[in-house]
Structure 1
Amino acid sequence: MQTVLLAGGLGSRLSEETVRIPKPMVEVGGRPIMLHVMDIYDHWGQHDFIVACGYKCMMMKAFFNNLHLMNNDFTVRLGTGRMNLRPCRKMEWNVSVVDTGEATMTGGRLLRLRDWIGDETFMVTYSDGVGNIDIDALLAFHRAHGGLATVTAVQPPARFGNLELAKGDRVAAFTEKVQNYETWINGGFFVFEPGVFDYLEGDHEPLEQSPLARLAADGQLFAFKHKGFWHPMDTVRDREQLERLCAEGTPPWLRFEQRSDPVVRPMIYA
């Protein structure tokens, strides 16, 4: 199954770093945050990625083109340039890096990948948020409810947008304003059916606004509730917190002992 990483934004709230590199390449624990996200999927046997880049796209293309050299030792014959790699770390990833436009919104980036994805179920996430998501349970939940879309719902500090959940885990409303009660918000880690493309209109459209709102209104968006670790990297303070967690050993986003809610078939409302 292919996993799309949305990796084209400006990252303006982390401008101390993103003025020189794309936000997904800002390092945490000596590695770009995007690779930490990919590690989560890799743990569950998901190895096929499409990176939807935009801002400083050429830098990201060069990074992935050379990643096999950075991950391994090698011997090079300088006269011919012939190189023999000596593998240090097994990495069975297939990565497509696609320029989806510097000014394109997240919904538009996804729409531009329609031909890359085809008619298969696929996953989508952001390149700057990590969590110990049980991807197998997420996929099982998605297949059980039969709708077009699943979003992973998380409970971070109340400075984020809001998911209003109805009985049976159906998303009743998708709004950006935080309410004055316990909040479930969009944590990324989506699963989509190809029918989601019919809800996307063009480059101008953020996935998080009209498309998800209309999917919710049509009863096609369901929430997989994750009560384990989740943390975004929106600010310098966030990056420093993730750095501290890396320094303590295996980071919490790669500790999978705590499972998410049991997978049950949700009630689908007409």
Structure 2
Amino acid sequence: MMVVHESEEEIRQHEEELKNNFSMDKFSLKGKVAVITGGNTGLGQGYSIAMAKAGADIFIPTYGKKEWDNTRKLIESVGQKVEFMDCDLTDPSVPKKVIETAIEKMGHIDILVNNAGMIKRNPLLESKDEDWVRVIDINLTAVYRMSLEACKVFAKQKYGKIINIGSMLSYQGGKFIPSYTASKHGVAGLTKAFASEMGAYNVTVNAIAPGYIKTENTAPIRAQKDRNAEILGRIPMGHWAEPYELMGPAVFLASDASAYVNGAILPVDGGYLVR
């Protein structure tokens, strides 16, 4: 096999390109607008604050007005603008209204984080149809509709970032949460399907799969001594994550530092899945 060696001039040009084409500014979200569903509480609030700290203005569709004042204070304290919209994302007409309202209030949109979701815990044999419908509607159908409406805008402007929120249950079966597991497997599939088509428009679609995080939703599991010990025994890093530990991955996927990352599902799990 013939080996082709670069000349010193070619090497120098390559080094210059590397130096000039990347800077830490690639991680900045200055001038961007992020729509973050359910960004007023829990992990969603963490994503909102992280992106605001990176320079983005934030538009937050929520179900109810919980934590609006506190979230506003946190975002405005870092010099960014925030607007809220009280709505039900499971209403088929709402996602379009959300995107239109975000553009009306913020001027444009660049990033969509599909964070809003819910979980219903029941043994499989006690599952209820109404629980299945509610979970699938918000965790999967709303993600599809929000992404589709955002993509209509992103395709025209030839730029956009979508970040879906998966789960360890995007990979595993779990127990007592068949509707949640099905929805998070579906989120993984939607992420790949949208990425496959939208890449041609310079729109990237990725997902974060949080591991075991200290949140209100996981409090019942952490309170179960045996289950908590079982989970901790499988996490190589040996602890449940704090919500702030998902902030960096969210900013990375929202920024131009991840410009060629598309269709990825990024586990942020302390190594849980490798065991």
TM-score bin, normalised by smaller chain = 0.3 to 0.5
TM-score by length of 2: 0.38
Flag the structure with higher helix content: 2
Flag the structure with higher strand content: 1
Higher relative contact order (CA 8 A, sep 6+): 1
Q: Which is higher, the Rg of structure 1 or of structure 2?
A: 2
TM-score by length of 1: 0.39
